[in-house]
Chains A and B, each alone.
Chain A
Amino acid sequence: MSAAVTSASAEGASRVSPARRAGKFADRWLMPVYVFLALFYLALPILVMIAFSFNDPPGRFNFVWGEFSLAAWGNPFGRPGLEGAITTSLLVATVATLIATILGTLIALSLSRYNFGGRSGVSLFIFIPMATPEIVLGASLLTLFVGTASEPLKTITGGALFPLGVQTILIAHIMFNISFVVVTVRARMQGFPRHLEEAAMDLGANPWTTFWKVTFPLILPGVLAGALLAFSLSIDDFIITNFTSGTATTFPIWVWASIKNNLPPQVHVIGTMVFVGAVGIVVLGTLWERRSERRDRRIAAQEAAREVARLEAAQLSPAD
């Protein structure tokens, strides 16, 4: 019997150990290497974009490496219509971000702070625009904007209500950004300290004051993250904008129009600027958040120390 046990355990050991060792090896080395390679794959087109912004292409298309040049960086807007397109892009992204952030934050507050009838239905309703292909969002908006000039909507609107242009791009961008803001803000509101609001109310603050003095500062990082996401989605959007722009031109529309007959390195320069700007904002935001966290901890520690000192003093004082 004891022989059977030993043989079984010996068999177990010999069967398990090479695979176990491979598993350990994979955990130690393969996983980090794989993660690095996958992230490199994700970063590759960005690196190519940055590299080709320094290219002096042999032809009209910036597809093949010619030689290193700073010409495009020296003159980043030096193509007809490019500066106007970038101005439009920035304008649309700024306004759309502002409005979508306000509307989305309100929905996120309502979804995560209150339990009300139809809450999960609203959750689902918010998700659907995010899962809808951009082409359907663009096509349906175009159908609406064109349809306002004919039956049956004409009877309500009385003719062309929505001439295509910057205003229709704005409407489209606000629409697709709302859901993304809701999801970002809601994710950051998990584990929200409700008792702080209750404490403020107990101390006599009205709902308005409580919101601005307690709730808003707490959700601000989430709101800013949502706004940043909205801004970058908006400034990069091509498909929906292509359907709703009419003759207005944003930066992606300009690129699409130009790619049929030329692709100047300026496109890569501006792409690089947008990328560096967005990453810079994220890095600064993270540093700022860390610093304020550290400051909060320091203040808390000082308060605690003062409290301890006061208690100690109080304990000593009854002696007199």
Chain B
Amino acid sequence: MTRRRWLVPYLLMAPGILFLALFFVLPNIQMFLMSLSTKASGTGLARTYEFTWAWENYAKALTDFPLQFSNSLIYGGLATLLCLVIGYPLAYGIAFRGGRYKNLLLFLVIAPFFTSFLIRTISWKIILGNDGAFLSIIRDVLGIVPPNFSILGTPLAVVSGLTYEFLPFMVLPLYVSLEKIDRRLIEAAKDLYAGPMRQGGALIGGFAGGGLAVVLMAGFGYLPLGVDHLPAIVLVAAIGGITGATIATLLVSESFTRIIFPLSLSGVFAGSILTFIPAIGDYVNADLLGNPRTQMIGNVIQNRYLAQNDYPTAAALSFLLMAGILIAIFVYARALGTDELTGGAE
């Protein structure tokens, strides 16, 4: 009995690991084989495929969908950036100012998970629609956009949907990393005269704010980048820069930049991976909130698999996504370890 004790952990996890091997690893191998296959015979669902080392599927996948690829990267990137900007202060507020309401606040962060993701996206369609609440405020009441301005069918709508959908995935790892920080370090920093950020902070905040404003406006397609549009670009950068500089000088302290932020970087990376990767693969937001010009790579995969039965190209696209994830996760694991990703922190 005691001689076999080393077997116990392996036996405990065997059934679950076996299930994942059969229905997670094997399908991905099968998908990789499919991505190198060509049509053999038949049409529609009865079509069969032959494994032929068809690397040209990858060339086709990479070159045939430039719009969808760039949309995926841009929208996924913008959504990740927005999740970080919105989610960091939220996670910080809950971790440092949550007090005895921490658990309740965290529950409110994950409350959207208890509603169907489709219905939440439909809700955004209602809110952002031409007769919706958001446009009637900024168009009819405030009058900051022209009467024919609409949001649905634009990159702004798709990125809004993605940002909303993945915000909890950003907040939770950020919260975990912030919560773990030893509060005595902050006390020590204060004892050593860590005060508000001064001129250097204003500079950093100004550049960050200006850059963010230009990236967002350009990403949404409202600000064409080019020499002819320089005045508009400068104006947007200036507005963002002044906002950023104000926030940095007035609200950000040295104990934050020197202690809290560096110690929360593992959460920033984990949250960014958990937001960016699924956001790239999403197709429901682009389908319900966007238009044909805002389609993402997920829409192509979905369409090729479920409507056109063109498995090899779709498999090549999916496998490219999978490869990206594996690289991101291994880089993360090498740099920061694996336990934090799976709920253990021993």
Choose the segment among B53-61, B120-128, B221-229, B259-267 that binds chain A (4+ C-beta atoms closer than 8 Å).
B120-128
Q: Decide if A127 touches B338 in the complex (CB within 8 Å).
A: yes
**B50 part of interface (Cβ distance < 8 Å):** yes
Which residue of B119, B195, B315 has the most chain A CB atoms within 10 A of its CB atom? B119
| Chain A interface helix/strand/loop/mixed | helix
Binary flags per residue of B265-283, CB closer than 8 Å to A gives 1, else 0: 0000000011001101111
A110-B13 contact in complex given A35-B90, A141-B23, A183-B342, C-beta closer than 8 Å: yes
Q: Which residues of A contact B23 (CB under 8 A)?
A: 141, 144, 171-172, 174-175
* 15 A/B residue pairs, CB under 8 Å, sorted by A: A19-B196, A39-B90, A42-B108, A45-B124, A49-B120, A120-B337, A120-B339, A123-B342, A132-B277, A133-B282, A135-B321, A150-B48, A185-B343, A243-B306, A259-B288
Q: Decide if B127 touches A44 in the complex (CB within 8 Å).
A: yes
**A63 part of interface (Cβ distance < 8 Å):** yes
- Once bound together, how far apart are the Cα atoms of A186 and B176, in whole Å? 14
Q: Which residues of A contact B277 (CB under 8 A)?
A: 131-133
- Once bound together, how far apart are the Cα atoms of A178 and B264, in whole Å? 28
Cβ contact of B283, chosen from A135, A186, A274, cutoff 8 A: A135
Q: Decide if B342 touches A43 in the complex (CB within 8 Å).
A: no
**A113 part of interface (Cβ distance < 8 Å):** yes
Q: Decide if B113 touches A232 in the complex (CB within 8 Å).
A: yes
Q: Which residues of B contact A52 (CB under 8 A)?
A: 123, 126
- Once bound together, how far apart are the Cα atoms of A132 and B282, in whole Å? 11
Q: Decide if A122 touches B13 in the complex (CB within 8 Å).
A: yes
The 7 closest A-B pairs by CB, nearest first: A133-B281, A45-B123, A103-B16, A140-B27, A19-B196, A114-B9, A110-B12
A sample of 9 more A-B contacts (CB under 8 A), given A103-B15, A133-B277, is A35-B105, A48-B126, A63-B131, A106-B15, A111-B13, A129-B24, A178-B20, A179-B342, A268-B119
A271-B282 contact in complex given A19-B195, A19-B196, A30-B251, C-beta closer than 8 Å: no
- Once bound together, how far apart are the Cα atoms of A259 and B20, in whole Å? 33
**A255 part of interface (Cβ distance < 8 Å):** yes
Q: Decide if A124 touches B333 in the complex (CB within 8 Å).
A: yes
Q: Which residues of B contact A44 (CB under 8 A)?
A: 123, 127
- Once bound together, how far apart are the Cα atoms of A130 and B301, in whole Å? 19
Q: Decide if A39 touches B109 in the complex (CB within 8 Å).
A: yes
**B97 part of interface (Cβ distance < 8 Å):** yes
- Once bound together, how far apart are the Cα atoms of A77 and B295, in whole Å? 33
**Minimum distance in angstroms from B80 CB to a CB of chain A:** 14
| Chain B interface helix/strand/loop/mixed | helix
Q: Which residues of A contact B117 (CB under 8 A)?
A: 236, 238, 252
Cβ contact of B93, chosen from A34, A125, A171, cutoff 8 A: A34
**A22 part of interface (Cβ distance < 8 Å):** yes
**B311 part of interface (Cβ distance < 8 Å):** yes
Q: Which residues of A contact B251 (CB under 8 A)?
A: 22-23, 26, 30
Binary flags per residue of A245-265, CB closer than 8 Å to B gives 1, else 0: 000000110011001000100
Binary flags per residue of B7-24, CB closer than 8 Å to A gives 1, else 0: 011101101110110011
Q: Decide if A236 touches B115 in the complex (CB within 8 Å).
A: yes
Q: Which residues of B, 87-145, contact A by the 8 Å Cβ criterion?
A: 87, 89-90, 92-94, 97, 103, 105, 107-109, 111-127, 129, 131
- Once bound together, how far apart are the Cα atoms of A210 and B145, in whole Å? 68
**A201 part of interface (Cβ distance < 8 Å):** no
Q: Which residues of B contact A174 (CB under 8 A)?
A: 19, 23
**Minimum distance in angstroms from B71 CB to a CB of chain A:** 15
Q: Decide if B97 touches A274 in the complex (CB within 8 Å).
A: no
Q: Which residues of A contact B274 (CB under 8 A)?
A: 130-131
Q: Decide if A63 touches B125 in the complex (CB within 8 Å).
A: yes
Instruction: Determine the residue in chain B with the shortest Cβ distance to A37.
Output: B90
**Minimum distance in angstroms from B279 CB to a CB of chain A:** 8
Cβ contact of B343, chosen from A19, A26, A46, A184, cutoff 8 A: A184
- Once bound together, how far apart are the Cα atoms of A172 and B22, in whole Å? 11
Instruction: Determine the residue in chain A with the shortest Cβ distance to B23.
Output: A175
Q: Decide if A252 touches B129 in the complex (CB within 8 Å).
A: no
Q: Decide if A127 touches B342 in the complex (CB within 8 Å).
A: yes
**A214 part of interface (Cβ distance < 8 Å):** no
Q: Decide if A135 touches B302 in the complex (CB within 8 Å).
A: yes
Q: Which residues of A contact B129 (CB under 8 A)?
A: 63-64
Choose the segment among B28-36, B62-70, B234-242 that binds chain A (4+ C-beta atoms closer than 8 Å).
B28-36
Instruction: Determine the residue in chain A with the shortest Cβ distance to B196.
Output: A19
Q: Which residues of A contact B24 (CB under 8 A)?
A: 128-129, 137, 140, 175
Binary flags per residue of B291-302, CB closer than 8 Å to A gives 1, else 0: 000000010011
Which residue of B122, B298, B321, B346 has the most chain A CB atoms within 10 A of its CB atom? B122
